[in-house]
A = this chain, B = another copy of it.
Amino acid sequence: MAINRKMEFAADEIALADLAKAISHPARIAILKILARQKSCICGEIVEGLPLAQATVSQHLKELKSIGLIKGTIEGKTSCYCIDWDVFNQFISHFGVFAELAQNASVQSQSCC
């Protein structure tokens, strides 16, 4: 973009947008699904479950980790990832904001367009 106007928005809007961006790629959705399914934290198995090169998967994992949606620790030769449910559930609950705003205005039921 010509100018980055991101900082001119409210902090909570930026935060929600950043979290949404973190899951705005099918590979990262797929990674989260794999992690949600696994009882034990997996690592390179994620690569096998995706149609992407190892380097690319590692990059997606890094993105999810940097936003906090997943945690990762190195266990010997392998890396172990899992969902940080605190962050994840809090993220989901943020969407309630829209319903609250609508409820205050009692708008949701009436479709005007």
Chain A residues in contact with chain B, CB under 8 A? 5-6, 8-10, 13-14, 16-18, 20-21, 23-30, 32-33, 36-41, 51-52, 70-73, 80-85, 88-89, 92, 95, 97-99, 101-102, 104-108, 111-113
Contact = CB atoms under 8 A, between A and B. Distances in A.
Given A16-B23, A40-B112, A81-B113, 8 more contacts: A8-B51, A17-B23, A32-B98, A37-B104, A70-B113, A71-B113, A92-B95, A95-B95
Contact of A33 (B18, B98, B113): B98
B21 A24 contact: yes
A72 B41 CA distance: 45
A71 B107 CA distance: 14
Given A5-B51, A8-B51, A24-B20, A88 B98 contact: yes
B25 A112 contact: no
A100 B84 CA distance: 15
Contact of A107 (B14, B25, B36): B36
